[in-house]
Amino acid sequence: MIRCMIVLMTLVLTTGLLYLVGHLFTIPFFMFNHQYTDHSNGLYITSGSLIPFIMGLMASFLAEKIYIHKYRQKLG
């Protein structure tokens, strides 16, 4: 249970922080930008950068590995 919370919180905090930094300092590959235009079926859809999400996944993976390592050391 705690392991899942650590992974989820690391993912959310890292991703949110990177998106925030991207918007504060106008870094395009850290910004989330969503646009939708429908001018009578001339559909135009744009999405944002997924780099902060991928970096958040990597950080949560590392946090989980560190937690498991520390937990196993604690057990003996």
Q: What is the pLDDT of residue 1?
A: 86
Question: The whole model's pTM is what?
Answer: 0.81
Query: What is the C-alpha to C-alpha distance for residues 18 and 9, in angstroms, rounded to an integer?
Result: 14
Query: What is the C-alpha to C-alpha distance for residues 51 and 18, in angstroms, rounded to an integer?
Result: 9
Q: What is the pLDDT of residue 42?
A: 81
Convert the pLDDT of each residue in 9-63 to its tens digit: 999 999 999 999 999 999 999 998 888 888 888 888 888 899 999 999 999 999 9
Q: What is the pLDDT of residue 39?
A: 82
Q: What is the pLDDT of residue 37?
A: 85
Domain that holds residue 10: 2-75
User: Structural domain tally of the chain?
Assistant: 1
